[in-house]
Structure 1
Amino acid sequence: MKKLLGAILCCTLFFLSTAVTAQHSGAGPGTGYRLWYTQPAEKWDTQALPIGNGRMGAMLFGGIKTEKVQYNEQSLWSGDNNWDGEYETGDHGFGSYRNFGTFVIDFNHTDVVTGYYRSLNIQTGVHTTAFEIGDTRYTREAFASHPDQVMVFHYTASKKGALSGKISMQSAQGAMSAANADGLSFTGEMPNHLKYAASMQIAHEGGSISVEGNNWVFQKCNAITIYLDARTNYKPDYQSGWRGADPMPLVKQEISAARKSDYQTLVSRHTKDLTRLTLAASIDIGKTDADVLLLPTDVRLKKYAGGSVDPDLEETLFQYGRYLLASCSRTGGLPANLQGLWNDSNTPPWAGDYHNNINIQMNYWGVESTNLSECHLPLIDFIKAAEEPCRIATRKAFGANVRGWTARTSQSIFGGNGWEWNIPASAWYAQHVFEHWAFTMDKTYLRTTAYPILKEICQFWEDRLKKMPDGKLMVPNGWSPEHGPREDGVMHDQQLVWDLFQNYLEAAKALGIDSAYQLKVADMQAHLAPNKIGKWGQLQEWQEDRDDPDDQHRHTSHLFAIYPGRQISMTLNPDFARAAIISLRSRSGNYGKNENTPFTVESTVGDSRRSWTWPWRCALWARLGEGEKAGIMVRGLLTYNTLPNLFTTHPPFQIDGNLGITGAMAEMLLQSHAGEIHLLPGIPSGWAANGSFKGLKARGGYTVDCTWKNGQVTGYRIRSAEQKKVWVRANDKKIQVVTQKG
């Protein structure tokens, strides 16, 4: 009977998922795969739209007479943060992520424009601008190709010979651009001896192209295609001094290779590559009214902030986060920084760096669960590249005989450690190293990459933990990030070290090695000073019971044990989970002051209204089984901290809100941290009527599809590389099922 029921459920799911795919094909305005607008962008951070191939990206404005494209390459950094050779220099010489440059096209358009349309398809990564002047329709497309490692800009007109204008190129670092028969280009060298180069070439149909000064002039063309590439000589290798070969030869080689393919081949190759990621997972959480679907994205966002119901916009937010991560974090490159990849400034907020006390981790909260596992590798490679400089800095700061390593809060691409030691930083990094294995079950990766990192970080804490008179172990001189004093046994630190030890023990057990050290780590974990419940029922943030119930601080660091950790849950230790609910309520301002006050989107106030706080609290509420409150966090982010181009703002713009909410929304639909697959653990009533998800991932190497109606699971399918037994919790029941192979 169970086998028959499973077959029925799988068939039901198959047909439903087919319908969902058709519904969200991205075929027109308003679908979950498209952002669109009726005016050109004026402001970079609020209106321009992003494309990226992981390494290189651009912000597009969709201008009419003047087309401006601002672009970045992820390794263009100033500073080196190592003037003393020991990587322990604080902010001295830290540097920042830099703007690479812009190119501008001045078209000879003079008449009135009608029918303007600007869009970004976040399924295919193709940006489109279209409009009419007289009886001529102008269409512009742009994308950043990962397979070909170039950005491509294609301009056409419905009338032959309708394209005329000039193209100029500017470096944001002071290099002079030059125009010749080969194209426009510039090269330069930063004060830190980082070399950079950019080049663009044009192919045209009909008409002519000539060089005038430092510009290209095109006359009466039917179509033009621009190929742009930019690189530095950065090499992610401490032993090589973080420098590699001169970048210009590779830039020219990549453009030359791309030009051997016609435009349709290039766009097809790019689309096939990106949709392999963007279509790997999808959610359907409700139906938006047809008249709302016809509205531009910025108008819909305003209506949503005014109280309208728009589940399709929430789906778009989910998919936008996946698109952005797939566009700024690809194999072989650097991880997403505070702005992902996109930056128009030489002095970006917080240097556009890698903050490891929440931000870089949040960037990757959805990477495994939403089926983008390969996009996790740049973060893991970044951690590996930083190990040796971090060892050097750690020994200088904590003693020459200390094993292992940790890091300061701010990190650069050159191994630099900037502002404020974040002593459990490496333990939090270790969670990501472990999670990649937990979701993929790749034992070669576990043995060669993850396990050595986990063990070395455990050794750091073996040397550093402080034994108290009662035999308990505490993290000395800890800090609840950006909040409160430094002291022993801060709960955030205690929870992170517990999580590290748990991850190490599971990794060692899976490999069947180091039994003696397993016993050592298990003993340390057992003796860690435990979580505490305070005088007003809260989960304490510090060893001393000093929490303020009126505190609305943006960080909820002492709740790490609930999410992204797994030390506390409603099933494992409900008393601590209930205390966590009280703590989370108290951070919500008006709602926290009186438990009888209805919890609404307006309840979260003050310092708690930050782009990245909404995703963390969304995930926390989901883990605590509070679906309504999790849904309110999604609404809060879209209402208060989302810009017209759907970038999230702290303020200012920071990418962690976009990337974090994707992981948090996945957590509302599927959880797997407690040794079981839990379906719909935190679904709000607004999503409950009818819905589905497809392609979400669970720990253990599982791919999960699910359908529901009226908040109850109606079907699910679980696949894995090999058939396995797994526990599934759905509709308040827990059963063991056999997965499908594939």
Structure 2
Amino acid sequence: MTVLDHDGPATQWLHALPLGNGRLGAMCWGGSPARFDLNHEGVWSGSPASEGAWAAPSDEEARELLAQAREAATSGRGLEATEPLQALQLPYAQAFVPLATLEVATPDSGAGRRSLDLRTGTHTWTDARGRARTVVSAVDDVLLHVVDGAAQQTPADPVVVWLTSPLRELRRQEDPEGLEVWLRAPSDVAPGHEPRLPAVTWGPVAVEACVVVRWRRLRSRHGDRLVVALAVETTYRGPGADLAGTAADVAGRARDRVARVLAQEPDDVIRRHRAEHTALVDRCGVALGDAHLPGPSRTIEERLTAARADPRRVLEVDPGLAGALLDHARYLLLSSSRSCRLPANLQGLWNAEMQPPWSSSYTLNINTEMNYWPAEVLALPETVRPLEDLVVALASSGRTTADRLGAAGWAAHHNSDAWAFTSSVGAGHGDPSWAFWPLGGLWLARHLVERVRFGSVDDDHARTVVWPVLRGAAEFALSWLVRLPDGRRGTAPSTSPENTFVDTGGRTVAVTCSSAMDRALVRDVLRSVVEVAPRIGPDAAKLADRAAGALLNLPAVLVTADGRVQEWGRDEVESDPHHRHVSHLYPLFPGDEPLSDTELGAMAATLDRRGDDSSGWSLAWKIALWARLHRPDRVSDLLDLVFRDATGVQGQWAGGLYRNLFAAHPPFQVDGNLGYAAALAECLLQSHRGPIELLPALPAELACGSAHGLVARPGVLVDLEWSDGELVRAVLRPRSPAQVGRTVHVRWQGREVARRLTDAATELGPGDFGTTT
């Protein structure tokens, strides 16, 4: 398992290394003073009342505005739909903001090394005086910092700890062994793309937080020992819930946690954290490169530098880096999304800015969903629970948004936040290409359905949690469909997320009828209803019948005259042929729409026209798409872009890696890391078509390797070993007793075999597929 090592302390935020337990995040700088930039999942601007506080059109006015936009779109006058759609906009969703910075001073010994062990979730700083270990424990919900060696010059010297915050300080209490600070978040933070509005607004109704820091000195076999414990409580109670009083009301819980931890042997606290973290990490792993050769002894940073300097591709020089980055992605997902109330946001759980890029919130037209693409296949299903909780809250708040649009069910546009915001944003001047897109709920519903497909939840969960969300999304989709001028059913007004086309007059237009993305999402949610309904019971049959009927008159993929996927309602000329979004390819990935050879060819032609280079998350999506097309050669091209140095790349949308392996949008967005892991998994294992397909898109650079604990639908654990690009063996095991006795089909190199799962492992080799290696 990967360890990230760096010489010397971090000199900027993008050099620091992340810790997190889903609730509390810390960016660790190392050195002396030891610095930790802190975030907490519940520290957002705004309140549950934020969305409702904006002035908005009445329901009657909103429906009239929508009717105007619909008439313009269906008449081929998409530009005229802009003004009524902008009149529907609220200003913006709220922002995820920093909590505080903790600094712990110890004598400076000069040079040192910092490391992050991804397997144990432990940050270590080592220098001539000793070592300092830091964990953010999910078991105890504390940050624990243990300094072994000469913690202070003399026992009589005071411990020097600072806690500073960009939030409003309500109260500070200090004594020789600790401090406690009460803070209040802003009542409003405007996104950076609204420079005319106040950046930060402070008011009495906002999240409050209590930060408790206590320390003590001990004597151990390592010499002097300093133990610092930090806990945070906030008044945030989850999406859709009211705030829980004030900092004074929640402070006791933080004090109690710190007191319990300091009453224990610190090594026991660290061991407990490591055991819990390691058990989750060890479920799944991928090792790449020739196992018979000695592994690289250099640090990841040194290996990247050497591989980038070589004229060959990075992974051709050092294929093990691909596995290291996958380890890192699983670590980031586990650290930002478990045992918590909110899912990973645009920056996971780590943000340093009061006005962060895109508010560090939830962007529902790709980024939030991409964060969770690796969760099931890479064996971290519990990380999806916070996403599920947010989706359930959106399904509730989104009923108001759907009703305002004259539709049934629930709807969410492309921006959301900790308060389950679902309205269209843009402050009355946002381009509809990104501001109007009420189909976010349909995409989110897919993630809950995938939990069923992977066997992560049982039928009771499917009935009580998944089905209500899916039913509401399908009800919206069915009521959103209209009869188009050509007689077919479709959506109007419609956009293709964040992209535009040029009309015959040379004008840039965003609004059309029935974009490819709209059709794909509507078909996806209706197909999911048909699939899941039999698990639910007779009450679901009526909706399933409606869904099946609507699918008959809703085309899946339209192909242009030159053989590409038609992105808008008509064959239009893109404003930017190389646009980073590839939403119109959703049926290929993450969707699972059955596609003809012609349609698959159109997908490939579209990717060719879009080009390779793009933002970090777009690179990940394209890798997954090429993997689904069984094109390892194109996967190789994109992987090389993923591993380049982000600080040396020019261009607004040019991905790569920062020094701490955070992926660049740019700037940093965690979706690039998490999407990469999912895309690499698609190269090794696919199961969306029914059969479990082994090594479907293995790049030449990764010709040797192994994987354990991958998860295939419908709940099968898969171990793989391959050499020289050929399968050596595959081992299949049922993920749960529910899968025992099920017959699964397994495919490799176009050959397919059937096996009945038993309690014992099922092993397959090349001979089982009629070949030898």
TM-score range relative to shorter protein: 0.7 to 0.9
Counterpart contact for 1:562–1:623, Cα < 8 Å: yes
Q: Which residue of structure 2 aligns with residue 33 of structure 1?
A: 2
Q: Which residue of structure 1 aligns with residue 305 of structure 2?
A: 302
Q: Is there any run of 5+ residues in structure 2 with no aligned partner, and where?
A: 58-87, 186-202, 427-434, 501-509, 647-655, 761-773
- The one-letter code matched in structure 1 to 2:97 is R
Q: Which residue of structure 2 aligns with residue 25 of structure 1?
A: none
Distance 1:423 1:94 in 2: 15
Q: Which residue of structure 1 aligns with residue 145 of structure 2?
A: 153
Counterpart contact for 2:409–2:475, Cα < 8 Å: yes
Q: Which residue of structure 1 aligns with residue 726 of structure 2?
A: 712
Deviations 1:321-346 (A, max 9, x none): 00000000003421000000001111
Q: Which residue of structure 2 aligns with residue 540 of structure 1?
A: 566
How has the CA–CA distance of structure 1 residues 450 and 204 changed in structure 2, closer, same or farther, with 3 Å as cutoff?
same
Report the Cα offset of residue 433 of structure 1: 1.0
Counterpart contact for 2:25–2:349, Cα < 8 Å: yes
1:201 aligned to which of 201, 204, 214: 214
How has the CA–CA distance of structure 1 residues 90 and 302 changed in structure 2, closer, same or farther, with 3 Å as cutoff?
farther
- The one-letter code matched in structure 2 to 1:34 is V
- The one-letter code matched in structure 1 to 2:13 is W
Q: Is there any run of 5+ residues in structure 1 with no aligned partner, and where?
A: 1-31, 208-219, 589-603
- The one-letter code matched in structure 2 to 1:189 is R
- The one-letter code matched in structure 2 to 1:389 is S
1:683 aligned to which of 692, 695, 698: 698
Counterpart contact for 2:239–2:390, Cα < 8 Å: no
Counterpart contact for 1:171–1:177, Cα < 8 Å: no
User: Secondary structure at 1:579's aligned position in 2?
Assistant: helix
Counterpart contact for 1:622–1:667, Cα < 8 Å: yes
Q: Which residue of structure 2 aligns with residue 426 of structure 1?
A: 441
- Of 171-180 and 402-411, the range deviating more from structure 2: 171-180
Q: Which residue of structure 1 aligns with residue 163 of structure 2?
A: 169
Counterpart contact for 2:394–2:412, Cα < 8 Å: no
Report the Cα offset of residue 659 of structure 1: 0.9
Q: Which residue of structure 2 aligns with residue 77 of structure 1?
A: 44
Distance 1:284 1:265 in 2: 31
Distance 2:229 2:104 in 1: 14
2:20 aligned to which of 52, 55, 58: 52
Counterpart contact for 2:22–2:335, Cα < 8 Å: yes
Query: 1:201-220 residue pairs with structure 2 within 5 A?
Result: 201-206=214-219
User: Secondary structure at 2:593's aligned position in 1?
Assistant: coil
Q: Which residue of structure 2 aligns with residue 737 of structure 1?
A: 755
Q: Does residue 526 of structure 1 match 2:552?
A: yes
Counterpart contact for 1:77–1:98, Cα < 8 Å: yes
Counterpart contact for 2:151–2:226, Cα < 8 Å: no
- Of 299-308 and 196-205, the range deviating more from structure 2: 299-308
- Of 556-565 and 163-172, the range deviating more from structure 2: 163-172
1:124 aligned to which of 95, 100, 120: 120
- Of 352-361 and 233-242, the range deviating more from structure 2: 233-242
- The one-letter code matched in structure 2 to 1:143 is V
How has the CA–CA distance of structure 1 residues 271 and 459 changed in structure 2, closer, same or farther, with 3 Å as cutoff?
same
Q: Which residue of structure 2 aligns with residue 344 of structure 1?
A: 352
Report the Cα offset of residue 294 of structure 1: 2.6
The number of residue pairs the alignment matches comes to: 665
Identical columns (%): 28
Report the Cα offset of residue 392 of structure 1: 1.5
2:590 aligned to which of 564, 572, 575: 564
User: Secondary structure at 1:389's aligned position in 2?
Assistant: helix
- The one-letter code matched in structure 2 to 1:556 is V
- The one-letter code matched in structure 2 to 1:648 is A
Deviations 1:379-405 (A, max 9, x none): 000111222222123322x02xx2111
User: Secondary structure at 1:741's aligned position in 2?
Assistant: coil
Counterpart contact for 1:183–1:202, Cα < 8 Å: yes
Q: Does residue 408 of structure 1 match 2:413?
A: yes
- The one-letter code matched in structure 2 to 1:445 is H
Q: Does residue 553 of structure 1 match 2:579?
A: yes
- Of 728-737 and 366-375, the range deviating more from structure 2: 728-737
Distance 2:302 2:239 in 1: 47
Distance 1:738 1:288 in 2: 31
Q: Which residue of structure 2 aligns with residue 583 of structure 1?
A: 606
- Of 295-304 and 452-461, the range deviating more from structure 2: 295-304
Query: 1:309-458 residue pairs with structure 2 within 5 A?
Result: 309-396=317-404, 398-399=405-406, 402-417=407-422, 418-419=425-426, 420-440=435-455, 442-458=458-474
1:620 aligned to which of 609, 622, 625: 625
- Of 576-585 and 97-106, the range deviating more from structure 2: 97-106
Report the Cα offset of residue 668 of structure 1: 0.6
Q: Which residue of structure 2 aligns with residue 249 of structure 1?
A: 252
Distance 1:162 1:182 in 2: 16
Report the Cα offset of residue 563 of structure 1: 0.2
Distance 1:406 1:659 in 2: 26
Deviations 1:430-469 (A, max 9, x none): 1001001111251111111111111111111111101235
User: Secondary structure at 2:476's aligned position in 1?
Assistant: helix
User: Secondary structure at 2:542's aligned position in 1?
Assistant: helix
How has the CA–CA distance of structure 1 residues 694 and 86 changed in structure 2, closer, same or farther, with 3 Å as cutoff?
farther
Report the Cα offset of residue 33 of structure 1: 1.4
User: Secondary structure at 2:354's aligned position in 1?
Assistant: coil
Q: Does residue 185 of structure 1 match 2:210?
A: no
Distance 1:378 1:465 in 2: 31
Distance 2:92 2:488 in 1: 40
Counterpart contact for 2:138–2:339, Cα < 8 Å: no
TM-score, normalised to structure 2's length?
0.82
Report the Cα offset of residue 181 of structure 1: 5.1
Distance 2:292 2:730 in 1: 27
User: Secondary structure at 1:76's aligned position in 2?
Assistant: coil
- The one-letter code matched in structure 1 to 2:26 is A
TM-score, normalised to structure 1's length?
0.85
- The one-letter code matched in structure 1 to 2:577 is D
Report the Cα offset of residue 161 of structure 1: 6.3
User: Secondary structure at 2:51's aligned position in 1?
Assistant: coil
Q: Which residue of structure 2 aligns with residue 486 of structure 1?
A: 511
Distance 1:554 1:169 in 2: 40
Deviations 1:617-648 (A, max 9, x none): 01000001011212332221111510110001
Q: Which residue of structure 1 aligns with residue 188 of structure 2?
A: none
2:272 aligned to which of 264, 269, 288: 269
Distance 1:409 1:93 in 2: 11
Distance 2:484 2:92 in 1: 39
Distance 1:63 1:323 in 2: 23
Counterpart contact for 2:44–2:97, Cα < 8 Å: yes
Distance 1:554 1:675 in 2: 30
Deviations 1:260-313 (A, max 9, x none): 321121111111111122111111221499898232322222223334411111
Distance 1:325 1:98 in 2: 19
Report the Cα offset of residue 169 of structure 1: 1.3
Q: Does residue 228 of structure 1 match 2:195?
A: no
- The one-letter code matched in structure 1 to 2:694 is L
- The one-letter code matched in structure 1 to 2:599 is F
Counterpart contact for 1:408–1:423, Cα < 8 Å: yes
Counterpart contact for 2:146–2:225, Cα < 8 Å: yes
Counterpart contact for 1:242–1:414, Cα < 8 Å: no
Counterpart contact for 2:19–2:26, Cα < 8 Å: yes
How has the CA–CA distance of structure 1 residues 106 and 331 changed in structure 2, closer, same or farther, with 3 Å as cutoff?
closer
